[in-house]
C-alpha cells in the first residue's frame, strides 16, 4: 500500500510475484490484471461438473462423535488466518470416504462458495500427480487453462490465494503421502480441508487428526438393518447381530453382506451366518458385484515392502490375538530392528493395530486375509517349519519365564540366544500373563503334533507360577496336557507330578474334592511304581 491509501497491490509487487510463479505471456498478463483490479474473488464464477462432491448414502449410520469432530474443526477455529485441515485415517473398509462425503454434505450450507471433492488415488500404482491435482482444483475454482501456472509452485500459490477468502470445503480423498498432500493444503483463510488416507501421514504439520475405528456392534447392526430395509423383519434381530459380528464392524463388509441379502430374495440372514462362520471361506463370501473386501486389503498389501509382506502374512500363525516385536522377529526371520520397521509399516497402512503397551493385533478379517496370503505365497513345507519354529520359541520362552518362580532354581541361565531377555521376576510374570494366549496355543499345538518333550517341559515349569495366578480352567488345561505328554513319553515320575498338579488345581480353583482325590490317587500309584519319592510326599 502507499500511505495506507492503496486498495490493491502495487504493480511492482504483482510483477515480482508473477515472476516468482514463473508466469509468462498471457497467464502473466491476466494474473497482473486480476491482481491490480482487486480481489480475485470478485472475478470468480464457479464452473459446474468439476470436482463435484459424490452423493451421500441414505443409510449412513452412526459416527455421531466423529461428525461432531468435523463440525468443531470447521467452526471452532474461527480465525480466518487458521488453516482448518482435518486428517481422517483408518484401515481399508472403514468407510473413510463415505464419512468425509457425509460430513462435507452436512457442512455445505455454511460454505456457500462450494464443496469440492478430489480422489488422489493414493492406493493405486500411480497416485495422482501433484501438478495434475492442483490443475483440477484450480479448474474447479474457475481458472482457465490459459491462466494455469506452468509448475507446481505456481499452481500451489495460486490455489492458496484463491482459497484465502472463499468459504469452501475441499475433500482430498485417498492421499498417498505427505509429499502429495502438502501442496494441496490451504495457507489459512475461511476454507476448510478434509483429507482421508489409509496411511497415518505422521509427517504432516498443523493438522487435526481423526482415526476411524470399526463400528460398535449396535451401530453395525443398525447399518445392516438400514441397508436391508423392510426385509430385515423377516431375518430377525439375532441373525443380523451375528452377521454384524462376523463383519467385525467394517462398514464395507456390512455393505457387501447387506447388498447380497437385498439382491437375493431367496436368501436369509441365518443362512449367510452359516456361510460366514466358516473362516476358510469367509473372505470369499464377503463380495457383492464389484465389491470385495479382500480387494480392499490387497491394495494395502501391495504397498508394502517385501520384508513387511513376509512379516504380515506369517503373523497369521500367531496362536493368540496379539503379539509383540520379538514374536514378529521370530516369524519374519529377522533382527528385532527389522521387525520394528515392518510393524511400523503395517500400522501405518492400517493392516495392524498397535497399543501403548507395545502389543499389536489384527482385525479379524485382516487376519484371515493374512492367512490367505500365507497359503498363496509360502509353501506347505515352509508353513509347517514356521509353525514348529514359533511353537518351539513360545514354549521355550514360557519355560524360561516359569522357572523364575522355582524356589531352588534362581535366575534362569540365558543359554538360548534366540529367546527374548527377561531380566527380573516381574518381567517374567508380565511376559507369561500378556502372552498366555500365545504360549497356551503353542502348548496345544505341541501336544497335538507329538512334540511331547516341549509340552511337558512347559507344563512342568508352570507349577510354581500357577500359585501366583489362580485361574482354574486355565491351569487345568496346562497340567492335563502336561500329564498327557508325560504319559506319551512313558515318564511315570513326571506323569505323577502333573497329576499332583491337577489334584492341587481341583482342590483350590474351585474346590472339587472328588476330582482332587481321583488325581491324587492316580499320582500316588504312578509315583509308587516309579519310585518318585517327591511325588509320594
Same domain, 101 and 17: no
Q: Which of 186, 211, 236 is the last residue of a domain?
A: 211
Residue 335 within any structural domain of the chain: no
With 0-12 / 13-18 / 19 or more C-beta atoms within 10 angstroms meaning exposed / middle / buried, residue 348 is: buried
Same domain, 516 and 485: yes
Measure the CA–CA gap between 148 and 80, rounded to whole angstroms. Answer: 26
- The 10s digit of each residue's pLDDT in 133-172 is 999 999 999 988 888 999 999 999 999 999 888 899 999 9
What residue numbers bound the domain in which 242 lies? 217-289
Q: What is the pLDDT of residue 43?
A: 45
- Check pLDDT > 80 for residue 347: yes
Same domain, 114 and 257: no
Same domain, 118 and 228: no
Q: What is the pLDDT of residue 5?
A: 46
- The 10s digit of each residue's pLDDT in 252-306 is 999 999 999 988 888 888 999 999 999 999 999 999 988 999 999 999 999 999 9
Spatial CA neighbour of 378 closest among 316, 324, 429, 335: 316
Residue 362 within any structural domain of the chain: no
Same domain, 25 and 151: no
Residue 131 within any structural domain of the chain: yes
**Sign of the CA dihedral running 125, 129, 135, 138:** positive
- The 10s digit of each residue's pLDDT in 29-63 is 556 655 654 444 444 455 556 788 999 988 899 99
Phi/psi region, residue 483 (left: phi>0; alpha: psi -120 to 50; beta: rest), is: alpha
Q: Which of 254, 273, 289 is the last residue of a domain?
A: 289
Q: Cβ(302)–Cβ(122) under 8 Å?
A: no
Same domain, 492 and 474: yes
- Check pLDDT > 90 for residue 512: no
Same domain, 15 and 154: no
Residue 118 within any structural domain of the chain: yes
Measure the CA–CA gap between 112 and 122, rounded to whole angstroms. Answer: 29
How does the average pLDDT of the chain come out, rounded? 88
Q: What is the pLDDT of residue 42?
A: 45
Same domain, 161 and 180: yes
Q: What is the pLDDT of residue 3?
A: 45
- Check pLDDT > 50 for residue 17: yes
Q: What is the pLDDT of residue 188?
A: 78
Q: Cβ(175)–Cβ(118) under 8 Å?
A: no
The confidence band for 357, taking pLDDT boundaries of 50, 70 and 90, is: confident
Structure letter (DSSP) for residue 289? T
Residue 128 within any structural domain of the chain: yes
Domain count, the chain: 4
With 0-12 / 13-18 / 19 or more C-beta atoms within 10 angstroms meaning exposed / middle / buried, residue 142 is: middle
Highest averaged pLDDT of the listed ranges 83-87, 91-95, 144-148? 91-95
Residue 358 within any structural domain of the chain: no
Q: What is the pLDDT of residue 535?
A: 66
With 0-12 / 13-18 / 19 or more C-beta atoms within 10 angstroms meaning exposed / middle / buried, residue 58 is: exposed
Quickly count: other Cβ atoms within 10 Å of residue 284's Cβ.
15
Same domain, 52 and 139: yes
Q: What is the pLDDT of residue 417?
A: 79
Q: Which of 211, 237, 270 is the last residue of a domain?
A: 211
Same domain, 114 and 24: no
The confidence band for 28, taking pLDDT boundaries of 50, 70 and 90, is: low
Q: What is the pLDDT of residue 406?
A: 87
Residue 529 within any structural domain of the chain: yes
Radius of gyration of the CA atoms of the chain, in A: 31
For residue 185, give the CATH number of its domain: 3.40.50.300
Q: H/E/C letters for each residue in 5-53?
A: CCCCCCHHHHHHHHHHCCCCHHHHHHHHHHHHCCCHHHHCCCCCCCCEC
**Could you tell me which residue, 60 or 414, shows the higher pLDDT?**
60
- Check pLDDT > 70 for residue 6: no
Q: What is the pLDDT of residue 323?
A: 96
Percent share of the chain, pLDDT over 70: 89
Extract long-range pairs of 11-18: CB within 8 Å, 24+ residues apart: 11/36, 17/157
Percent share of the chain, pLDDT over 90: 64
Spatial CA neighbour of 397 closest among 464, 443, 343: 443
- Mean pLDDT, residues 444-459 taken together: 96
Measure the CA–CA gap between 476 and 271, rounded to whole angstroms. Answer: 37
- Mean pLDDT, residues 317-333 taken together: 96
Same domain, 207 and 231: no
Measure the CA–CA gap between 51 and 141, rounded to whole angstroms. Answer: 9
- Mean pLDDT, residues 61-89 taken together: 80
**Could you tell me which residue, 16 or 485, shows the higher pLDDT?**
485
Same domain, 22 and 54: no
The confidence band for 216, taking pLDDT boundaries of 50, 70 and 90, is: very high
- Mean pLDDT, residues 226-237 taken together: 80
Neighbour order of strands in the sheet with 192-197: 115-119, 169-173, 192-197, 84-89, 208-211
- Check pLDDT > 80 for residue 27: no
- Mean pLDDT, residues 336-352 taken together: 96
Residue 193 within any structural domain of the chain: yes
- Check pLDDT > 60 for residue 354: yes
Measure the CA–CA gap between 178 and 196, rounded to whole angstroms. Answer: 12
Amino acid at each position: 500500500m502507499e500511505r495506507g491509501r492503496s486498495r490493491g497491490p502495487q504493480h511492482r509487487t504483482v510483477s515480482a510475484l508473477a515472476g516468482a510463479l514463473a508466469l509468462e505471456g498471457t497467464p502473466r498478463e491476466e494474473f497482473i490484471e486480476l491482481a491490480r483490479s482487486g480481489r480475485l474473488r470478485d472475478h470468480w464464477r464457479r464452473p459446474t461438473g468439476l470436482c463435484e462432491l459424490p452423493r451421500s448414502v441414505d443409510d449412513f449410520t452412526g459416527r455421531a462423535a466423529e461428525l461432531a469432530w468435523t463440525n468443531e474443526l470447521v467452526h471452532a477455529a474461527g480465525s480466518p488466518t487458521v488453516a482448518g485441515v482435518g486428517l481422517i485415517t483408518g484401515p481399508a473398509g472403514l468407510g473413510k470416504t463415505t464419512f468425509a462425503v457425509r460430513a462435507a454434505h452436512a457442512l455445505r450450507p455454511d460454505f456457500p462458495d462450494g464443496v469440492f471433492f478430489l480422489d488422489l488415488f493414493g492406493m493405486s500404482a500411480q497416485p495422482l500427480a501433484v501438478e495434475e491435482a492442483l490443475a483440477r482444483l484450480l479448474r474447479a475454482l474457475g481458472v482457465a487453462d490459459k491462466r494455469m501456472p506452468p509448475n507446481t509452485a505456481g499452481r500451489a500459490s495460486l490455489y492458496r490465494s484463491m482459497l484465502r477468502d472463499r468459504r469452501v470445503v475441499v475433500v482430498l480423498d485417498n492421499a498417498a503421502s505427505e509429499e502429495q498432500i502438502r501442496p494441496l493444503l490451504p495457507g489459512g483463510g475461511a476454507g476448510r480441508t478434509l483429507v482421508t488416507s489409509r496411511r497415518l501421514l505422521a509427517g504432516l504439520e498443523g493438522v487435526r487428526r481423526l482415526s476411524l475405528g470399526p463400528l460398535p456392534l449396535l451401530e453395525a447392526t443398525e447399518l445392516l438393518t438400514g441397508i436391508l430395509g423392510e426385509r430385515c423383519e423377516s431375518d430377525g434381530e439375532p441373525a443380523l447381530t451375528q452377521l454384524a459380528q462376523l463383519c467385525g464392524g467394517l462398514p464395507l463388509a456390512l455393505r457387501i453382506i447387506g447388498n447380497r441379502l437385498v439382491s437375493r430374495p431367496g436368501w436369509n440372514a441365518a443362512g449367510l451366518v452359516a456361510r460366514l462362520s466358516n473362516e476358510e471361506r469367509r473372505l470369499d463370501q464377503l463380495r457383492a458385484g464389484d465389491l470385495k473386501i479382500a480387494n480392499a486389503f490387497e491394495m494395502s498389501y501391495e504397498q508394502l515392502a517385501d520384508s513387511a509382506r513376509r512379516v504380515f502374512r506369517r503373523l497369521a500363525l500367531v496362536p493368540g490375538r496379539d503379539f509383540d516385536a520379538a514374536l514378529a522377529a521370530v516369524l519374519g526371520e529377522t533382527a528385532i530392528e527389522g521387525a520394528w520397521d515392518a510393524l511400523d509399516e503395517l500400522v501405518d497402512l492400517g493392516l495392524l493395530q498397535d497399543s501403548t503397551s507395545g502389543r499389536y493385533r489384527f482385525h479379524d478379517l485382516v487376519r484371515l486375509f493374512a492367512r490367505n496370503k500365507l497359503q498363496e505365497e509360502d509353501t506347505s513345507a515352509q508353513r509347517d517349519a514356521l509353525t514348529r519354529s514359533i511353537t518351539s520359541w513360545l514354549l521355550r520362552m514360557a519355560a524360561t519365564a516359569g522357572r523364575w518362580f522355582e524356589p531352588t532354581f534362581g535366575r534362569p541361565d540365558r543359554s538360548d540366544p534366540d529367546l527374548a531377555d527377561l531380566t527380573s521376576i516381574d518381567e517374567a510374570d508380565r511376559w507369561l500373563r500378556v502372552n498366555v494366549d500365545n504360549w497356551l496355543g503353542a502348548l496345544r499345538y505341541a501336544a497335538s503334533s507329538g512334540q511331547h518333550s516341549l509340552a511337558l517341559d512347559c507344563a512342568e515349569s508352570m507349577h510354581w507360577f500357577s500359585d501366583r495366578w489362580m485361574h482354574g480352567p486355565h491351569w487345568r488345561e496346562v497340567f492335563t496336557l502336561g500329564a498327557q505328554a508325560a504319559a506319551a513319553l512313558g515318564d511315570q515320575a513326571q506323569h505323577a507330578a502333573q497329576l499332583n498338579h491337577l489334584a492341587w488345581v481341583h482342590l483350590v480353583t474351585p474346590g472339587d474334592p472328588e476330582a482332587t482325590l481321583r488325581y491324587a490317587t492316580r499320582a500316588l500309584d504312578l509315583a509308587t511304581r516309579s519310585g518318585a519319592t517327591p511325588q509320594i510326599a
